[in-house]
Amino acid sequence: MLVIGPDGQSLGVISVNDALAHARRAGLDLVEISPKARPPVCKILDYGKFRYEMSKKDKEARKANNAAKVKELKFHINIDEHDYMTKMRHAEDFLFRGMKAKLMMVFRGREMQHQNLGREVVIRIRKDLEHVGVADAEPKLVGRNINLMLTPLPIKKRVRKYTDDSIEYEGVDASEDGDQSQDSGDETKE
């Protein structure tokens, strides 16, 4: 097997016993890095530190991969206009940041008799979000829900319509100048 020392220098092709002896002298572990290579590649290193660094890399990769995240938004056929716009802002934000959005039109009780109204709301949602996302398929009735999955458009084609760029997320300001003093539209108590 090809063995790489703790300093990154190649020790050459040596036997398993010799590699283990080198690792013991250094007070480290012998870890097989590439088992399918010919000859297999092993490295002398601290295994606990190696596992910690690998878990950090995996965590960073998962954090950067927003496309794997699916955000779910539930609607009802008798949704008020203000509630509708609030959900549109959330959906637009999720899609703008590269996440998929699963929209569910939920029917309760006798609302099942008015599936046509629910389908109209879902079609309106799809039309209102076409500037940031595209539907994967036509809205589909599954049980008591009409489901619609939206996938974000490519980054350069996404445009904000309901939200502005100055919204702060996870401690990172998305605006150019960092000015958060704009009127948010919230009422103040007197």
The pLDDT tens digits for 135-148 are 999 999 999 999 99
* Residues 71 and 158 reside in one and the same domain: yes
* Residues 12 and 92 reside in one and the same domain: no
178 pLDDT above the threshold of 60: no
Contact 64, 98 (CB under 8 A): no
Whether residue 120 is contained in a domain is answered as yes
* Residues 38 and 82 reside in one and the same domain: no
Whether residue 159 is contained in a domain is answered as yes
Domain with residue 34: its CATH number is 3.10.20.80
* Residues 96 and 143 reside in one and the same domain: yes
Per-residue pLDDT, averaged over 73-95, amounts to 93
* Residues 158 and 70 reside in one and the same domain: yes
Per cent of the chain over pLDDT 90 is 53
Domain with residue 78: its CATH number is 3.30.110.10
Contact 140, 108 (CB under 8 A): no
170 pLDDT above the threshold of 60: no
Residue span of the structural domain in which 41 resides: 2-56
* Residues 49 and 76 reside in one and the same domain: no
Residue position matching structure tokens 């008798």: 78
Nearest to 93 by CA among 112, 71, 74: 71
Q: What is the DSSP string of 114-181?
A: GHHHHHHHHHHHHHHTTTTEEESS--EEETTEEEEEEEEPPGGG---SSS-TT-EETTEE-SSS----
Peptide bond into 39 cis (omega under 30): yes
Choose the weakest-confidence range: 6-15, 42-51, 66-75: 66-75
Total domains in the chain come to: 2
Whether residue 41 is contained in a domain is answered as yes
182 pLDDT above the threshold of 80: no
Nearest to 104 by CA among 148, 143, 68: 148
168 pLDDT above the threshold of 60: no
* Residues 79 and 46 reside in one and the same domain: no
* Residues 12 and 102 reside in one and the same domain: no
**pLDDT tens track for 95-152:** 988 889 999 999 999 989 989 999 999 999 999 999 999 999 999 999 999 999 999 9
Look over the chain and give the mean of its residue pLDDT values, rounded to a whole number. 83
- Which pLDDT belongs to residue 158? 87
Q: How far apart are CA 21 and CA 30, in angstroms?
A: 9
Distances (CA, A) of 164 to 34, 137, 161: 48, 28, 8
Whether residue 89 is contained in a domain is answered as yes
Overall pTM > 0.75: no
